[in-house]
Amino acid sequence: MERRSFVKLIGAAGTLAAAGGATTLARAAETPGKNDGAAAARPLVDGTPAVFAPTSRSATIVWTVNGAALGWVEYGTSADRLDMRSGGDADGFTPHDERVLKIRLTGLAAGTRYWWRCMTRALTASGDEAPPVASRVYSFSTLAPEAAETRFVIWNDTHDREETLVRLAGLTQDGDAPPADFLMWNGDIVRGNNTDASMIPGVYVHPRGGVDLAKGPPVLLTRGNHDVRGLWASKVGGFIDFPDTHEGGARRPFHAFRSGPLGAIVLDTGEDKPDRHPSFRGTAAFEPLIAEQARWLEKVIARPDIKDAPVKVVFCHIPLRWTDEKPQDYFAKPAGFDRFSKRGRDAWHDSLVKWGARVIISAHVHRWTHIPADSAFPYAQITGGGTAPEAARLIRGHATAAGLMLDVLDMNGRKTDTVRF
């Protein structure tokens, strides 16, 4: 867009902002003007939406656009009555942006199903009001901390592999399977973030192969070492969300939640080499984040809903235990890397033992593994499958007051393992 047209657009629409606050126009030059025929040929809405960060009272709807637009969510407790509408953001704006719209729905009821749709309207340089574009109507359910049971599914190490993503989605959204309350996408969603921010939506929001995350279940995720790697990795947070379970409603890449009898702690293991490694080009600072999580863990394990959970599970991308724990030479060629996070384990182990964690569910090593608990480590270690369809695994979890059962399926839907705690 020419500078004069862009200035006119800003004057008409205000500083472009996402749901979390004002953003810069990283792609302002690509924002389509009213008479931009090439841009106008692209649909306003880019792909399908996604539901991230469900809690018992909230969830975040994210969708992406191909030009300056504002958006809102219409929702309700029946498919034919979407009588509620998202309002402005914390800074007083109706969420609008040239690339991503991200709206947090709050004040919801626990264990309740909501139907919803995204509404998107283009912002034009002339100020002419275009008709809004409506998505299809979807539904999701908030988490239910008081429920007698909960079901969930786990994906991991998908690395933007189209065939694997399509098969995982097909198994997850299979109408013959018991519906899951949430999907834990356990890291390494991307191969790396070294291209540019325009590639992020097609991996995290509407993955390749026509995978429609909005069909459910709502997505919780951990960051894997590949998700935090690359010069554009810091931009991923604009396209995903984490639950607001911290003081003051803060959202961090680590959190704790309750879903039925399941008490879950989600930790961020960061990179698989020390922060000082030259391959990170000075962008990594995960060791302070691991220390911060250690301080937070000491407090969160005393929170009543987490402390008293009958089933206690930890999710993190890099495992905290492994079958071969020999030291790595991080500066060799090729460089060694962590098969398990000793930094994380050293910082978190005592709190996890005190809490009574039964199992750490991880990824990273690209193969299904079950390491039972022992006297030194009273929590078991699970890792999911690999990236290619022949190695990938879908894990289905079912927690009741009596315990936890994990069924492991290959990409043909065949059960390969079952583990009970």
Please check whether residues 211 and 104 belong to one and the same domain: no
Q: Which residue has the higher pLDDT, 31 or 152?
A: 152
Asked which of 114, 141, 168 is the last residue of a domain, the reply is: 141
Please check whether residues 366 and 275 belong to one and the same domain: yes
Taking phi first (over 0 means left), then psi (-120 to 50 degrees means alpha), and beta for anything else, what does residue 364 get? Answer: left
Please check whether residues 265 and 409 belong to one and the same domain: yes
CATH (domain of 410): 3.60.21.10
Asked which of 121, 141, 161 is the last residue of a domain, the reply is: 141
What is the pLDDT averaged over residues 204-223?
97
Structure token digits, residue 194: 């070294």
Pairing of β 182-186 and β 138-141:
unpaired
Which residue range(s) make up the domain with 168? 149-420
pLDDT at 2 (0 to 100):
38
Please check whether residues 127 and 166 belong to one and the same domain: no
Please check whether residues 59 and 165 belong to one and the same domain: no
Please check whether residues 98 and 169 belong to one and the same domain: no
Q: What is the pLDDT of residues 388-403, one digit of tens each?
A: 999 999 999 999 999 9
pLDDT at 40 (0 to 100):
57
pLDDT at 161 (0 to 100):
96
Structure token digits, residue 300: 């969160």
Angle (nearest 5°) at CA 55 between 250 and 23: 40
Please check whether residues 153 and 133 belong to one and the same domain: no
pLDDT(189) > 70: yes
Please check whether residues 105 and 251 belong to one and the same domain: no
Q: Which residues contact 295 (CB under 8 A, 6 or more apart)?
A: none
Query: Above pLDDT 70, what percent of the chain?
Result: 90
Alpha helices in 149-231 (DSSP H): 162-172, 201-204
Q: pLDDT band for position 1 (50/70/90)?
A: very low
Please check whether residues 135 and 231 belong to one and the same domain: no
pTM for this structure? 0.90
CATH (domain of 70): 2.60.40.10
pLDDT at 250 (0 to 100):
86
pLDDT at 352 (0 to 100):
98
pLDDT(186) > 60: yes
Domain count, the chain: 2
pLDDT at 196 (0 to 100):
74
pLDDT at 194 (0 to 100):
80
Q: Which residue has the higher pLDDT, 50 or 247?
A: 50
What is the pLDDT averaged over residues 231-248?
91
Q: Which residues contact 49 (CB under 8 A, 6 or more apart)?
A: 61, 62, 63, 118, 135, 138, 205, 206, 213, 214
Say if CB 277 and CB 330 are below 8 A apart: yes
Please check whether residues 70 and 162 belong to one and the same domain: no
What is the pLDDT averaged over residues 1-19?
36
Cα–Cα distance, 43 to 63 (Å, whole number): 13
Please check whether residues 272 and 412 belong to one and the same domain: yes
Asked which of 106, 141, 176 is the last residue of a domain, the reply is: 141
Please check whether residues 185 and 92 belong to one and the same domain: no
pLDDT(361) > 80: yes
